[in-house]
Amino acid sequence: MDRTDFYDKVYEIVMQIPAGKVTTYGAIAGCIGVKSGARMVGYALNNLAGQSDGESVPAHRVVNRLGQLTGRAYFEGDVMKERLEQEGVEFKEEYTVHIEKHFWDPAENIGG
């Protein structure tokens, strides 16, 4: 599939996310070029559920702009939360990370 170019971009960025850090869908979408493709980003991550390289993409480090683990439903149990905790990410709520402290800007590592 050549149209997966968008997905590749998402994966390439998400794979660069260091442990203990998190980023947002909008940030990734903007770094790719599709600023308003925030929804598409989540859509691409969801696709990982069936991709063999899915394990290579720490989609659990991607949360919405509020730090909410909206996609935890696509992980096994609380894997998305437990993984972030074991990496050192602080949580404000049961399923909300401290995005303000652990925010990771892809444009500072990919685009620049």
Shortest CB 101 distance to DNA, Å: 17
Shortest CB 10 distance to DNA, Å: 10
C-alpha 14/C-alpha 69 separation (Å) is 15
Contacts of 88 (CB under 8 A, 6+ apart): 19, 20
- On whether the CB atoms of residues 6 and 44 are closer than 8 A, the answer is yes
Q: Which is nearer to DNA, 39 or 101 (CB)?
A: 39
Shortest CB 53 distance to DNA, Å: 12
Where is 85: in which H helix or E strand? helix 79-87
Which residues are at the interface with DNA (CB under 7 A)? 3-4, 6, 24-26, 34, 36-43, 45-46, 48-49, 59-60, 62, 64-66, 70-71, 73-75, 80
